[in-house]
Amino acid sequence: MNTREVTIGSVKMGAHHPIVPQTMLNTHTADIEATLSQAVRVADAGAQLIRITVPTLKDVECLSVIHERFRALGYRQPLVADVHFSSEIAIAAAKVVEKVRINPGNFHPRHEMARERFAQFLEVCKAHGTAIRIGLNHGSLGSYILDKYGATPQAMALAAMEWIEMCDQAQFYQVVVSLKASNTVIMIEAYRALSRLMQEEGLVFPLHLGVTEAGNGDTGRIKSCVAIATLLEEGIGNTVRVSLTEDPVNEVPVARYLAERYGMADQVGHDGHARPDRASLSEHEATILDAACTWGPKLLNREIDDFPCPDTSLKEEILQACRRKFFKPEYIACPGCGRTLYNLEKTFNTVKERTGHFRNVVIAVMGCIVNGPGEMADADYGYVGEGRGLVTLYKGKSPVLRHIPEDEAVDKLVELIQSDRAE
């Protein structure tokens, strides 16, 4: 898809430029040393764009120091502030880093006020040459959109178009858009719908692709790859993030694999795909990514129902990622960020061990109470960190057990699922 060119500091995105692999840090931004050190590690691994959470105005000051020190170390990768809810923080961050990711609908509960604040934010971005990402997620659509259209892929695309049109009215064109979901079918349909709408309106901006809360291990890698590969094969997508509940450094080789497989026209092999550099992948990782990208798009597009694969576990992972057959619970786990106040990766692995025997259930493990409940979309059960060693358990969208000490929370979650199954 021929998009506009967007300049994000030293990175050009869209138009004829290669796909940009990116990641997001999971440190507390106020911990400047830890954040800087992780930024260096992901940059050395090949991340070309680095996102950092900015929950408070105080964190903007830390971001400014991190930015300055990162540049002093000789790194040119643009930094992206990830801001939720507050236009005040978004405006402050826009004066400090090269790009700000926001969901404008969350700037204010009243839609007209959210529009007003978004317009103010755009003026600041324009004045400072800051790019933006309009990042809408399936699980966190504003009530204005839900009431009007429901939680459908088309609704996500229409919601994004409203903000895109506002950018056009403000003559602001440094815009990237994302419409992530943890359900691969919804994610693909949302991006396709948005691509169609952008082309109809003649406002074609670069797209950031990602599957939210994909989890970790083989499952997370495969879930991300089947969906992202499907869109990249259609020419949709200009930057990718493979969101994993792991050390962010692990995301980078997978994102690079996708960027190189679909973005390097000079290395095209006999099957029409580029030959990605495998140097940073383990043999196992290269095998699962190859299989996910080869068979995932065909399964998601319903061109095939089955495929030859001697590794049963890999085959089941791919079929489930494409939502064609379900063999184990579906897990939704956020990657964690500076808002996470517990050991998310360890807890997620424990939850998987203790609940792997349940069938036909969607279980979410989320890092924070601020965004977790909204982002866990259509999970049947949710484990959400409150902070201070406490957890809230959700059933659907409702909190059913609050303030549970962390060391009891997994047991309570298993009991909750079991008691519902016994009814």
Nearer Cβ to ligand SF4, position 94 or 337? Answer: 337
- 98, 246, 330, 375: residue in contact with ligand SF4 (rule CB under 6 A): 375
- Angle in degrees, 0-180, between the axes of helices 184-201 and 283-300, rounded to the nearest 10: 60
14 part of the interface to ligand SF4, by CB under 6 A: no
Q: Which residue is nearest to ligand SF4 (CB)?
A: 367
Nearer Cβ to ligand SF4, position 213 or 260? Answer: 213
Find the shortest distance in angstroms from Cβ 340 to ligand SF4: 4
Taking CB under 6 A as the binding criterion, the range among 179-187, 321-329, 337-345, 412-420 that sits at the site for ligand SF4 is 337-345
Taking CB under 6 A as the binding criterion, the range among 158-166, 167-175, 203-211, 335-343 that sits at the site for ligand SF4 is 335-343
Q: β-strand 11-14 against 5-8: which pairing, if any? A: antiparallel
The structure tokens listed for 361 are 């259930």
339 part of the interface to ligand SF4, by CB under 6 A: yes
Cα separations in angstroms, 130 against 7, 94, 121, 409, 415: 9, 6, 10, 42, 49
105 part of the interface to ligand SF4, by CB under 6 A: no
Find the shortest distance in angstroms from Cβ 383 to ligand SF4: 12
Taking CB under 6 A as the binding criterion, the range among 93-101, 287-295, 305-313, 330-338 that sits at the site for ligand SF4 is 330-338
- 340, 347, 355, 392: residue in contact with ligand SF4 (rule CB under 6 A): 340
367 part of the interface to ligand SF4, by CB under 6 A: yes
**For residue 397, how far is the Cα from the chain centroid?**
21
Residues 6+ apart with CB under 8 A from 419: none
- 257, 371, 392, 417: residue in contact with ligand SF4 (rule CB under 6 A): 371
Find the shortest distance in angstroms from Cβ 180 to ligand SF4: 11
Contacts of 347-356 spanning 24+ positions with Cβ under 8 A: 347/383, 347/406, 347/410, 348/215, 348/216, 348/245, 349/216, 350/410, 351/383, 351/410, 351/413, 354/410, 354/413, 354/414, 355/329, 355/413, 355/414, 355/417, 356/328, 356/329
The structure tokens listed for 29 are 């931004």
Find the shortest distance in angstroms from Cβ 325 to ligand SF4: 28
Distance CA 360, CA 59 (A): 41
Distance CA 191, CA 137 (A): 11
Find the shortest distance in angstroms from Cβ 193 to ligand SF4: 24
180 part of the interface to ligand SF4, by CB under 6 A: no
Q: Which amino acid is at 235?
A: G
Radius of gyration of the chain (CA): 20
Nearer Cβ to ligand SF4, position 51 or 256? Answer: 51
Nearer Cβ to ligand SF4, position 6 or 393? Answer: 393
- Mapped onto helix, strand or coil, the DSSP state of residue 136 is strand
Nearer Cβ to ligand SF4, position 3 or 35? Answer: 35
Nearer Cβ to ligand SF4, position 167 or 366? Answer: 366
* DSSP string over 1-40: --PPEEEETTEEEETTPPPEEEEE--S-TT-HHHHHHHHH
Q: Binders of ligand SF4 among 296-325, rule CB under 6 A?
A: none
Q: Binders of ligand SF4 among 44-103, rule CB under 6 A?
A: none
CB burial of residue 234 (10 Å; 0-12, 13-18, 19+): middle
Find the shortest distance in angstroms from Cβ 334 to ligand SF4: 3
Binding mask 347-366 toward ligand SF4 (x if CB under 6 A, else -) reads: -------------------x
Q: Are 105 and 111 in contact (CB under 8 A)?
A: yes
Nearer Cβ to ligand SF4, position 26 or 320? Answer: 26
Site residues for ligand SF4 per CB under 6 A: 334-337, 339-340, 366-368, 370-372, 375
